[in-house]
Amino acid sequence: MQVRRYAHSVNFSMAGSDLRIQIRTAPRYQGFVSRAIERDVLGYRMRVAAVEDVLQGKLWAYADERRRPSKRQKDLAEILRLAEAVPSLKDRLPEQIRALMA
């Protein structure tokens, strides 16, 4: 098993497996735990962040001007994909991002 520690997360992966697990350790993510939903992920039953919380995490990442511009663009693309896949999330988007979907 490979474990990588970062400032605000711990990532786990295993050779030969497509499963990747990321645990966010920053305090602002702690509320996500109580809202996590049990799902099947690549044949494993586990608790994962609710889609609304995934969106919130991506919005925080996108808003972080310390991140590399390429990472922020990736966050924006993921925000847009989430809102396209789950239209009810559009109401949670800042106006500047919602305008990109028009």
Q: Residue-wise pLDDT tens for the chain (102 aa)? A: 999 999 889 999 999 999 999 999 999 999 999 999 999 999 999 999 999 999 999 999 999 999 999 999 999 999 999 999 999 999 999 999 999 998
Q: Give residue 68's pLDDT.
A: 96
Give the sign of the dihedral formed by CA 56, CA 86, CA 78, CA 21.
positive
Report how far apart, in Å, the C-alpha atoms of 19 and of each of 6, 22, 43, 52, 81 are: 19, 10, 9, 22, 21
Q: Give residue 50's pLDDT.
A: 97
CA proximity to 28, closest of 42, 3, 49, 1: 49
Model pTM score: 0.89
Amino acid (one-letter) located at 59:
L
Q: Give residue 102's pLDDT.
A: 82
Q: Give residue 52's pLDDT.
A: 98
Burial class (CB in 10 A: 0-12, 13-18, 19+), 62: buried
